[in-house]
Homo-oligomer: A and B are copies of this chain.
Amino acid sequence: MARVSVPDWLRQRADLTPQRTALVVGDESWTFTELDQWVNAAASLIHDWSARPGDRIGLRAANSASFVVAVHAVARLGAVLVPINTRLTDPDVEWQEAEADRKLTLGEGDLASFDGLGQHWRSPDPDREFDLDAWHSIIYTSGTTGRPKGAILTYGNHWWSAVASALNLGLRSDDVWLACLPLYHVGGLSILLRSVICGITAVVQSRFDAAEVNRAIDSQGVSIVSVVSTMLDRMLSERGERPYPPTLRCVLLGGGPIPLQLLQRAVAIGVPVVQTYGMTETASQIVTLAPEDATRKVGSAGKPLMGSQVRIEADGEISVRGPTISPGYLQDVVPRPDGWLHTGDLGYLDEEGYLYVLDRRDDLIISGGENVYPAEVEAALLAHPLVADAGVVGVPDAEWGRCVAAIVALKPGASVSADELIAFCRQRLAGYKVPRLVQFRPSLPRNTAGKLLRRSLQIER
């Protein structure tokens, strides 16, 4: 569609379903009309702060209703959103600020001034449209190594992502999607865009808290929740024996390789887990299990969403292609000639074409000529009842080139020896995959998206 422009999504959504609940934060809720009017007011304010169409506007704040308002207000101004990881240090933020050439950055103080704006909203530009080829946001990847890169996501990327998700999971007018992930990550942000495109409620929590998530599922009609595996683990532990209500129709589980044991535990007690694979550069999900395959294909991330494709390169790398894929990175806006994005992840397709994600290619351990996927070894360690967390890396070894080493965090008060854990792994893994070294730490380094930072694991020799 040579250049498609569509009405401002939130504006149209407020016109179509004005009285539906758009947003719930804590005890407060807003209809699409109320959110639309609040966004108008915030857009006027940001405009007063000299932001203009095309400007890049940072957003550095915790999850809140004002954060949601800021996201839509920046789009309404025709500016480009640059969400900033709140866990970053000031020097890191300054570096990003320079790279992204930001006009201004909205912080907690700025967002606080959005409160109460809803009462005196100003007349907006009624003709504002979204060009699907225009940049909606620049999201710095939460990579586990190196400098983060600013991935450009267009309006079209987000549109196709929201639509393809609905085509896979279905769409009900009473759907409620819980966002307990940080909204500055694509996994959280995409929930806000799906909410307005699909006309469903977003429940936003300020941070992940297993008990709060479980409470929202029980009492706020949550039908879909996006989580990473550590979150699901804590939700299930906090939950104990109480079953989830039937209103919960999908626990969308992403964020990297997922221990099979966790999946099986969830499926066994009837949690509707749907595994997904995606990344910042694909505007969130690109390969997702269909709900009807959830129990038949445990461990698989599923199939590409409508419009997208996946293939495995000769070296085992996962490549993806489709309309949700970022046109490029800041400073590096080169179109991919054949449209295939090489993800840096290793995986395979089973005989039915379902994707299984193995691990980051850069984390692969080649030991005595054999490939060892750290995620598989970590999953074996996590299967031990006393292990709370585990990370596996390769360390130099005179005989094998690299050998497998593990860092383990035990559950509070638990005690088990390295030799016991090595013996436990030997029962579950081929010999060359068994860790030669196991060391203990109180906790493991994970980034704000919950991804294990294997490069930060320090093995003592």
* Residue numbers in B under 8 Å from A170 (CB-CB): 170-173
A303 located at the interface, meaning its Cβ lies under 8 Å from any Cβ of chain B in the complex:
yes
With both chains docked as a complex, state the minimum distance between the C-beta of A302 and any C-beta of chain B, in angstroms. 9
Q: Which residue in B160, B166, B339 is a CB contact (below 8 Å) of A171? A: B166
- Which chain A residues numbered 320 to 359 have a C-beta less than 8 Å away from chain B? 322-323, 339, 353
- What is the 8 Å Cβ interface bit string for chain A, positions 281-304, against chain B (1 contact, 0 not)? 000000000111000000000011
A209 located at the interface, meaning its Cβ lies under 8 Å from any Cβ of chain B in the complex:
no
The reply to whether B303 and A353 contact each other, CB–CB distance below 8 Å, is no
* Residue numbers in B under 8 Å from A3 (CB-CB): 2
With both chains docked as a complex, state the minimum distance between the C-beta of A126 and any C-beta of chain B, in angstroms. 11
Number of A residues whose C-beta is below 8 Å from B? 42
A306 located at the interface, meaning its Cβ lies under 8 Å from any Cβ of chain B in the complex:
yes
- Among A11-19, A86-94, A99-107, which stretch is in contact with chain B? A11-19
Given contacts A133-B1, A199-B167, A290 and B7 within 8 Å (CB-CB): no
A451 CA to B339 CA, complexed, in Å: 46
The reply to whether B12 and A306 contact each other, CB–CB distance below 8 Å, is yes
A2 CA to B171 CA, complexed, in Å: 28
A144 located at the interface, meaning its Cβ lies under 8 Å from any Cβ of chain B in the complex:
no
A4 CA to B322 CA, complexed, in Å: 8
Given contacts A1-B132, A133-B1, A163-B163, A173 and B291 within 8 Å (CB-CB): yes
A323 CA to B156 CA, complexed, in Å: 13
A240 CA to B292 CA, complexed, in Å: 38
A197 located at the interface, meaning its Cβ lies under 8 Å from any Cβ of chain B in the complex:
yes
The reply to whether B172 and A172 contact each other, CB–CB distance below 8 Å, is yes
Determine which residue in A4, A5, A290, A339 has the highest number of CB atoms from chain B within 10 A of its CB, and name it: A4
Q: Who on chain B is nearest to A309 by CB?
A: B7
Q: Who on chain B is nearest to A353 by CB?
A: B15
- What is the 8 Å Cβ interface bit string for chain A, positions 206-220, against chain B (1 contact, 0 not)? 000000000000000
* Residue numbers in B under 8 Å from A309 (CB-CB): 7
A307 CA to B8 CA, complexed, in Å: 9
Determine which residue in A1, A5, A160 has the highest number of CB atoms from chain B within 10 A of its CB, and name it: A1
A423 located at the interface, meaning its Cβ lies under 8 Å from any Cβ of chain B in the complex:
no
A198 located at the interface, meaning its Cβ lies under 8 Å from any Cβ of chain B in the complex:
yes
- A contact residues vs B (CB 8 Å cutoff): 1-7, 9, 12-13, 15-17, 132-133, 154, 156, 160, 163, 166-168, 170-173, 197-199, 290-292, 303-304, 306-309, 322-323, 339, 353
Give 10 new A-B contacts, CB below 8 A, not counting A1-B156, A166-B171, A197-B306. A1-B154, A1-B160, A1-B323, A4-B156, A6-B306, A6-B308, A15-B303, A16-B168, A16-B290, A163-B163
